[in-house]
Structure 1
Amino acid sequence: MAKDSIWTGKVAIVTGGSSGIGKAVANRLSGIGAKVLITGRNAHRLEEAAAGHDNIEALQMDSSEDGSGERIAEAATGRWGRIDLVVNNSGAGQPLPVDAYDASVIAEMSALNIVAPSQLVKAAHGALRECRGAIVNIGTAVSRNAAPMLAHYGATKAALEHLTRSWAIELAGDGIRVNAVAPGPVKSGALTGMMGLPEEVARQVEEQETAQIPLGRRGVTADIVPWILRLGSPENEWLTGQILTVDGGWSLRN
């Protein structure tokens, strides 16, 4: 860790921080001096993600539950006294053909992709204002185009992008910047995890998506993490309301 790291002593919250992009972001922030609170539903995965990192604390929490935002924000401020960055990374998605639409599944996607980040932004507002901090929301390149079978996933993430722009204006007077990263197909375990696909089906989807990516490969978390940190960095104090698509050109072909 560089002695002059701009993240030294800063405090970040990363929801969905026990795996994939969220875990990679937390590890990187911890490695460059930040103190990080990660949240997730699975206690075992949270423990594994925090193990060996003195700067990472884990909080088992379903971000879609009412009041979760307050409990997450209070855990960070109670432990470290400040919040400099919120990464709204937790999310939900599931392939749904029209004939299989299920109100409870759609409601869960809406709760995790729209309600959960809204609760946390509200709860962390005061602390972020004191630190002139930043919010980085994690969207998806799926929302760039029509998404048969993934219509509600794409729609709820598109709603998060709208919230990103709206919060950027509403919170600008408090010195809080709000941006988003929209990743394309990334090797993060999301297909078998969040999407719930069987391994064989997930492999088929991965092969199909890879063939569609102009740069010739699926992304890895290392392709995404630096952009999250750049958007959240206090060095970029004049950048807000932006949605950055990082997808190897995938959305340009679909």
Structure 2
Amino acid sequence: MRPDLVGVVTGAASGLGRATAELLLEHGARVAGWDVSGDGLEWLSDRGTTRAAVVDVTDPAQVAAAAEQVRGAWGRVDFLVNSAGVFVLGSLADVEVAEVRRLFDINVTGTTLVTQALLPDLVAARGAVVNLSSTVALKPSVSNAHYAASKAAVAQLTRCWALELAPHGVRVNAVAPGPTSTPLFAAAGMDLATTESFLAQRAATIPLGRTGEPTEVARWITRLIDDEWVTGHVLPVDGGTSIA
């Protein structure tokens, strides 16, 4: 990877966002980490190659202000990783309308707002966008249908934006992780025992026999940032879940 790239990673306080930001920094990139959790961003100490901003991706004013800060600090944006997202586990009978609205507001609308805010910079740089979809967007499952639907929307946005932005040289791809051990489940209100049971059940259905680690997903995100002839791709990183 070019060592001089500049970009934004949302959801950078933990999980896949943090793992991706850490790997990009190892490759020499400058990374602005955005997250709604200010405490979780403390690891992004300002050392010239990092910036941290508390950003609610559903708030257009906060997103616009954070984008302007990145421009002011570094003058350009070469890549964007839309990792901010939430998870809901529940059947059709049990899911609450407020949960569904929040799910789509963050996972779909938030991804849109951030990409819109940074679009002029990405066009100027002929840059790259990597969105976070999910393997459940590619293969139906029970118990998390609305989460799957939100991530299917992200997958289709990825394909449509790839076509729209290709004339500008901007590449848009997504990764579709399988079950991965991250704080996403705790943030959804699942206690440790429930999370461990959920991941164990999923692991039993994965051809490679285990759940994933954040760094395994982050490696593919960085590759999609770096590769200059791949666009419109939704890449399963799931131990074979999507083909089982």
TM-score scaled by structure 2?
0.95
Aligned residue for 1:96, secondary structure, equals coil
Superimposed CA distance per residue, residues 139-188 of structure 1 (whole angstroms, 9 cap, x where no aligned partner): 11111222222111000110011100100011111110000000001122
Q: Are 2:217 and 1:224 equivalent residues in the alignment?
A: yes
Selected match of 2:199 from 194, 206, 222:
206
Q: Which letter does structure 2 place at the counterpart of 1:246? A: V
Answer yes or no: is the 8 Å Cα contact 1:186–1:219 preserved in 2.
yes
Distance 2:192 2:243 in 1: 27
Answer yes or no: is the 8 Å Cα contact 2:13–2:34 preserved in 1.
yes
Determine the structure 2 residue equivalent to 1:25.
Answer: 20
Determine the structure 2 residue equivalent to 1:86.
Answer: 80
Selected match of 1:73 from 53, 64, 67:
67
Aligned sequence identity (%): 34
- Worse-matched range after superposition: 61-70 or 171-180: 61-70
Structure 2, unmatched stretches of 5+, are: none
Determine the structure 2 residue equivalent to 1:238.
Answer: 229
- Worse-matched range after superposition: 156-165 or 27-36: 27-36
Aligned residue for 1:36, secondary structure, equals strand
TM-score scaled by structure 1?
0.91
Superimposed CA distance per residue, residues 87-115 of structure 1 (whole angstroms, 9 cap, x where no aligned partner): 00001111122232322211111111111
Structure 1, unmatched stretches of 5+, are: none
Q: Are 2:148 and 1:154 equivalent residues in the alignment?
A: yes
Answer yes or no: is the 8 Å Cα contact 2:87–2:185 preserved in 1.
no
Cα deviation for residue 59 of structure 1 reads: 0.4
Determine the structure 1 residue equivalent to 2:29.
Answer: 34
Determine the structure 2 residue equivalent to 1:51.
Answer: 45
Aligned length in residues: 244
Q: Which letter does structure 2 place at the counterpart of 1:154? A: A
Selected match of 2:239 from 225, 228, 248:
248
RMSD: 1.5
Distance 1:96 1:216 in 2: 24
Distance 1:142 1:16 in 2: 20
